[in-house]
Each structure stands twice: as C-alpha cells, then as structure tokens.
Copies of this chain bind each other. A is one copy, B any other.
Amino acid sequence: MGIDKFNMLGILERFPIMCREALGLNKGLTVSGEITSIVVTGMGGSSIAGGMLQLYLKESKLPIFISRGYTVPAFVDEYTLVFAISYSGNTEETLSAVQDAKNKKAKIIAITSGGELEHEVDKVIKIPAGYQPRVALPYLFFPMIGVLYNSGLIEVRNSDLNEMMEILKDKQYYSETAYKHAKKIKDKIPIIFSSEDLKAVGYRFKTQINENAKHPAWDTVIPEMNHNEINAFRFMPRSNFIAFMLRDEKDHPRVQKRFDITRKIIEDRIDIEEIMVKGNSLLARMFSTIHLCDMISYYLALENRVDPTPVEVIERFKERMK
C-alpha cells in the first residue's frame, strides 16, 4: 500500500457499495407536520452532504439552506426541518447550531456515527463509524433522501438509483481517468470550473484535493465568473495553475456556450482539462463525478508523496481550540 497506510483506495473503491448500504440506514424514520423549509447544518466533509441535497432537490418547492457555523439562520422555526450532520458527532460548531435549532423549536434529525450529537437529539440516524467524514459521503447523504421519501416529501426514481449504481461499477474507468488527471495537476494549482447547478460538486472536488492531497485548489462558477474573475487571468502565471472544467451536457445551452467562450478567452493563459459528466439522471451525474474527483484527489496525494487519509493540520487545529 506504500504511502496509503489506511487504505483509502480500498475505501474509495467501496463507494458504490456504500451508496447501496446508505439507502437502508434511515430505517423508516419520518417527519410529520407542515414543513416550509429545510436547513442542513454541518461543517467540512459533513456539510458537503447538504450541498448535494440542495443540488439533488433543485426542482423541489421547499427552500433548502446550507448553514456552516455556530448558529442556524434566524428564520428557522417549528416548520423548519433541520438535518444536523456531524460524522464524529463532536463538531463544536454543529453542536452549538443544534442548541440554536432546539431553541427555535425546529424539527431536528441528526446524522452521525456517535459522539455527543447522538445524545442531543431525539431522532438520530446512526451511521457506520471508523471512516474519515469525507469518504462517508454516501452515509451522510442518502439517509436524508430516505427521510424525505418516507415522509412523502419527495419522489425518488428507482431507475435513477439503478443508473447511478451501473455507472459507478466501471472501476477501470475511474482509476485510469483519475490517474491521468492527477498527473496533470502535480506541481500546479487546479481551478475547478462548474456550472451553478454543479457548484456543490466543484466545491467537493476542491476540498478533496485540500484534504486528501494536502494541495491548494479553488473552485469557480460559470456564469458568475464571466462577470468578474475572468478578468484576472492575465496575471496568473501559466506554470502555476491548471483549469479543470466539469462539462455537463445537461447544463443550460447558454451556460455550455459560456464554457466554450471562457475556454477560448483563457486558454492562452492557462492549460485546461475537461471532465465530462457522465449519466442521464441527476443522481448518476452527481455521484459519478464525485467519485471520479475523489479518485483524482487520491492519486494526487500519491504524486505529492503524502498519505491521503490523515489530516494532521485539522487535528492540531482542534487540539488548540480546546
């Protein structure tokens, strides 16, 4: 296993299996009564699941907010469903936000592998322990889908789940494509471009590069960056950066055109790699892209000669906060 002492590769390759397992974790838990909004509170790897929920439910009539910090938004009340996600169950910000949500009489469901959080909330979905939060994403995301589905708040098409599982099967594709992209990133800082729709996937890619490869990365969104950041490429030293564009044929046609023009405008300043989003259903597109990007960050860690699993700086940080 070399650098990868904790076998992150093995865990990443279990991703499709974790997705299937995760679908059963909520054990029929439901919410009742009127719900006018959903808030997902959590930090880092745990909060990514909130971004995925917001993306997955983009056609939903329920407004969904991601909240990252010590409180929940001021509008939270008894009609708000709050998903409190902390893989460890001991995230200080999330425990504080849960108190705030309780004071505001929200309907709270916790998703955690244990810790203090499980004792703070009545409705808890317990998920398998022993992982890094960021690789546990399926366990953090699918239980929310389960609750909303069981409560009659959303529909989930079996065909979408099947398509996702089918696309995730192709181990060789993910491994070869990821390795090829990781080689290109080495010694450069990636700037990840996505559409507004896939923003949460772009942000996930950025944070996986930060945590697994201990490597800088930034994410940016089209069309918004066409109105400001695109001016900044003239001062960007070519040798230091590389652009990664998440290209999705389901994006708005004008957004796709914007990707093409952005390419043309910046390509004399920066090398550009494209990642084609695979799949028809949103679920398949989200999770196949996430899995590929996770694998890229893994191979980048190996290129950087760092163990992808431990995040020593974060641990040191938490110690100092005590």
Residues in A lying within 8 Å of B, measured CB to CB: 36-37, 43-45, 47, 58-63, 65, 68-71, 73-75, 77, 92-93, 96, 196, 206-207, 209-211, 214-218, 221, 223-224, 226-237, 240, 252, 254-255, 257-258, 261-262, 264-265, 304, 311, 313-314, 316-317, 320-321
Residues of B with C-beta under 8 A to A230: 210, 313-314, 317
| Cβ-defined contact, A232 with B261, below 8 A | no
Residues of B with C-beta under 8 A to A65: 63
Q: A68-B196, A75-B60, A240-B240 are in contact. Are A45 and B257 (CB under 8 A)?
A: no
Cα(A93)–Cα(B130), bound, Å: 45
Q: A240-B240, A265-B313 are in contact. Are A58 and B70 (CB under 8 A)?
A: no
Shortest beta-carbon distance, A137 to chain B, in Å? 13
Residues of B with C-beta under 8 A to A261: 317, 320-321
| Cβ-defined contact, A317 with B265, below 8 A | yes
Which among A69, A214, A227, A258 has the highest number of chain B CB atoms within 10 Å? A227
* Closest residue of B by beta carbon distance from A62: B75
Cα(A254)–Cα(B75), bound, Å: 23
* Closest residue of B by beta carbon distance from A39: B63
Residues of B with C-beta under 8 A to A320: 261, 264-265
| Cβ-defined contact, B44 with A227, below 8 A | yes
Shortest beta-carbon distance, A70 to chain B, in Å? 5
| Cβ-defined contact, B75 with A45, below 8 A | no
CB-contact partner of A227 in B36, B43, B214, under 8 A: B43
| Cβ-defined contact, A214 with B196, below 8 A | no
* Closest residue of B by beta carbon distance from A258: B321
* Closest residue of B by beta carbon distance from A236: B216
* Closest residue of B by beta carbon distance from A241: B216
Cα(A93)–Cα(B47), bound, Å: 29
CB-contact partner of A75 in B44, B63, B215, B264, under 8 A: B63
Which among A226, A231, A264 has the highest number of chain B CB atoms within 10 Å? A231
Residues of B with C-beta under 8 A to A252: 69-71
| Cβ-defined contact, A314 with B63, below 8 A | no
Shortest beta-carbon distance, A164 to chain B, in Å? 22
Cα(A280)–Cα(B116), bound, Å: 36
Q: A73-B63, A75-B62 are in contact. Are A232 and B257 (CB under 8 A)?
A: no
Shortest beta-carbon distance, A115 to chain B, in Å? 15
Residues of B with C-beta under 8 A to A36: 36
